[in-house]
Each structure stands twice: as structure tokens, then as C-alpha cells.
A and B are shown apart, each in its own frame.
Chain A
Amino acid sequence: MNIDSIHNGIVLDHIQAGKAMEIYRFLGLDSLDCSVAIIKNAPSKKQGRKDIIKVDSEMDLDLNILGFIDPAITVNVIRDGKLVEKKHLTLPEQIRDVLKCKNPRCITSVEQELPHVFKLTDRSRAVYRCIYCETKAGG
């Protein structure tokens, strides 16, 4: 399968197989008018299979959010056809307005304008908790 190399842009590599569309939607890549390639189930020595997204345009990425979705992703920055930077992601300490607290007893359930903030409480198990009520994200 041939996909043109990109000249100036970013390559999101080592995406967990099957997660590319989620990231595509999350980063709002559908609103870009440049070329965007989504490669699914590409062979990977480390992961067996992986997804890759190539965006043929420079763009600002929220690495915190990306790290929260999949900390294994590598962000390659391409300029003039060359790899100029490789960024490895980690789980962010805090995420803001990405998730909503689902605890009906949380103050965020009645005060709609409050930011929904979650903090990382267990890095090894990627556990995030609401800063207000300490409810586990997704719990």
C-alpha cells in the first residue's frame, strides 16, 4: 500500500491498533482540509499491529490529551520532508474538560460552569480521579 510521504506535518505512530479513528475524531482531524492518512493494523515489531495517522500540515496538538488517550503514541514532526522531532508521550498529571464526572453527588453535577478536572492518582494503573469528589474516571 502506498501513501505519499508528507512534507511538513506530523505522524502519530505506535497508536494502539483500533484506536486511530477515536484519535482522529478527538483531535478534530475531520475539519482539516489537508491530506490525512489513517493506516490501520500496520505491522509493528513492538506491538504486533499498530495504527498510524499522517497529517500533511503542521498543527498544534494537545499532547496532554493525546497522552491520556494513549501514552504509547510517538509524535513525529516532519519539516521539509525530514524528521525533526520525535516526542514520546506520558500520562498527564491532570486533564481538564476532557472527561465528565459521572458521580451524581459531585458538585459538578449541579454547578454546570465548573471545569471537569481529573488528576492522575496511580500512574502504574493509569487511574484518574475527579479533583472534587475523587470518583474514578470511567467508574
Chain B
Amino acid sequence: MRSLIDIQELSVQEIDELIEKANDIIAHPEAYREKCRYKKLATLFFEPSTRTRLSFEAAMYELGGQVLGFSEAQSSSAAKGESVSDTVRVVSGYADIIAMRHPKEGAPLVASMAATVPVINAGDGGHLHPTQTLTDLLTISREKGRLHDLTIGFCGDLKFGRTVHSLIAAMARYDNVRFVLVSPTELKLPSYIKKEILQQKGLEYVQTTDLAAVMPSLDILYMTRVQRERFFNEEDYLRLKDSYILTPEKLANAKPDLSILHPLPRVNEISTAIDADPRACYFRQALYGKYIRMALILKLLEVE
């Protein structure tokens, strides 16, 4: 029995297989409609989420399975003080696979140690979010036709943005990927990620506060939201939230085949005027999230 807590647990080959499977699901959805018949997914969301929870649920329904669970801690036994371990031990008896989101870092790992069914980390605070990274990889693969030989820019909150950290770690495993890190000084990528991933592997990266200056070099622009819930201090949040807003003017010198990604939800960091631009991939990206989760559920349930 296998869980997925950290994207690094998957080999490059396994990621390629998941992408291949997702592409096959997109091409032949009817072939997968009964694959998880009589199987149940438990969505244990101790923290609110719309997209991730609904995409997991849609993924399971489209595989012919069923879904049970809760969408906030107040409606679960956690409100009575039950531990994560006890909750998943109980839920292991009710479901075949668990997707868990929790505000505390490491909670899904604790769950995977106690559960008797596979656990998928659906986000643990500001720490890891492997299915978002798989979504991003599928999107890049579909938009660009490859995961190597790319220049990828990350813009916004690179300090607390877990999706950024995970995607950097995942992309660092492919050949000839260059990283451009654009953020206000206060929200720079943590130095341990630079040291332990980029510098240790001798990867090329640029760190800047100037998005316009680096725009022409980018194949992919990964925008992120400055998230209120990651700040201890409201004043800091308000000061930094509008640091980088992407507008059509800022795209003037971008490549014609740039792919703009965003894990969503967006607040105002991408102007809605960009939505109609074919380079805007973020809504397709959200859709791909469902397909890669279908592929992952099949893999962890060992359904052929």
C-alpha cells in the first residue's frame, strides 16, 4: 500500500507514467467510467478548499467511485480533540483511499503512518501539495510538449508559496531547466531551497524584483497569490498583496508562445483582461488537475 505525501516520493518515470495515464484519460474518458466502481474516496479537509476538494471528488466520480468526507475541521471529530491518527484509523474502515488537507504541516504524513489505506496529501499548511505539482507538470507537458529545455519564471509569493517550492523541486529533475525567481524582497524564495535544490544541483537561476526585465526570456510564467492565511501579520499582507499584478501591458514583450500558469484561486494578481489571451493556461490547468488526480487514484488503488 502506497501513499503520496511529497512529490519527491515519485520517480521521474512514475511522473511520466501518471502524465501518460492522464493524457489517455483525457483522450478516452469513457474507458475509465467504471474503473473505481464500488471504491470510496474519503476527502478529509480540515481546512477549507474549493478547487482541490472538488477536483478530487469529481475525479473519483468520473472513475465510477463514490465520495464521503468533510470540508472543514468544525464538522469533524477534530473539533472534539481527536488526533489525526485516530481519525484516519477510523476512516480507513470506511474508505479505500483518503485525500487529506490539514492546516498543520506534516499532518498527512502522520495520517499515512496510521492509515491502512493510501493517503494523498491534498495540502498541509504552507508545506507540500503534491497533486498541485502533478497538475502543474501535466499542464506544462501538455502546453509545451516537454518538461525539459524550458525557462520557467515564478512570480509573487515565493517565500510561503508551497506550490512554487514543490514545482521547483520537481522541475529541477528535468534537463536544462532555467529558473527565474521574481518577487518582492520580503517574499523571496527561502535560502534553503536555493541551497539544497538549485545550488546543490548546479542549476541556473536568476533572482530579481523586476518582472518586465525578465519577461522576454520566459517560456512559462507561474503566477502566485500572496496568501492572507500564510501571514501572521495583517499589515505585512496588505503591504505586499498587490506587489505584482499581471496586465496585458506587461505581456507586451513576452514570447508569443508563453504559457501563463496559476494554481488559483486568483485574487487580483492576473488581470481578467488576460483571460481571453491564448497564453493564459490557468483554467485549463485547473481542469487538468482533475485528470491527474484520476490517474493518481488509479495508481494508488492499483487499478489497471
Q: Decide if A and B are genuine partners.
A: yes
Name the one of A113, A130, A132, A136 contacting B192, with C-beta atoms under 8 angstroms: A136
Secondary structure type dominating chain A contacts: loop
Binary contact track B108-144/A, C-beta < 8 Å → 1, others 0: 0110000000000000111100000000000000000
A106 on the B face (CB < 8 A) = yes
Which A26-67 residues sit within 8 Å CB-CB of chain B?
none
Chain A interface residue count, CB cutoff 8 Å, equals: 19
Name the one of B104, B109, B192 contacting A105, with C-beta atoms under 8 angstroms: B104
Which B81-125 residues sit within 8 Å CB-CB of chain A?
83-85, 102-107, 109-110, 124-125
Contact B105 A103 (CB under 8 A): yes
Contact B104 A131 (CB under 8 A): no
Chain A residues within 8 Å of B304, by CB? none
Contact A132 B109 (CB under 8 A): yes
A98 and B107 alpha carbons, distance in the complex (Å): 20
Contact A108 B106 (CB under 8 A): yes
B249 on the A face (CB < 8 A) = no
Binary contact track A84-105/B, C-beta < 8 Å → 1, others 0: 0000000000000000000101
Chain A residues within 8 Å of B125, by CB? 105, 133
A76 on the B face (CB < 8 A) = no
Chain A residues within 8 Å of B127, by CB? 105, 133-134
Contact A105 B126 (CB under 8 A): yes
A110 on the B face (CB < 8 A) = yes
A22 on the B face (CB < 8 A) = no
Contact A109 B104 (CB under 8 A): yes
User: Of all chain A residues, which has the CB nearest B111?
Assistant: A107
Secondary structure type dominating chain B contacts: mixed
Given the known inter-chain contacts A113-B83, A133-B127, A134-B127, please indicate yes or no for A107 contacting B196, CB distance below 8 A.
no
A130 and B127 alpha carbons, distance in the complex (Å): 12
Contact B192 A107 (CB under 8 A): no
User: Of all chain A residues, which has the CB nearest B102?
Assistant: A107
A8 on the B face (CB < 8 A) = no
A111 on the B face (CB < 8 A) = yes
Given the known inter-chain contacts A121-B196, A136-B192, please indicate yes or no for A107 contacting B126, CB distance below 8 A.
no
Chain B residues within 8 Å of A134, by CB? 105, 127
A75 and B109 alpha carbons, distance in the complex (Å): 36
Chain B residues within 8 Å of A107, by CB? 84, 102, 104-107, 109-110, 124
B residues touching A (Cβ–Cβ < 8 Å)?
83-85, 102-107, 109-110, 124-127, 192, 196
A residues touching B (Cβ–Cβ < 8 Å)?
103, 105-111, 113-114, 121-122, 130-136
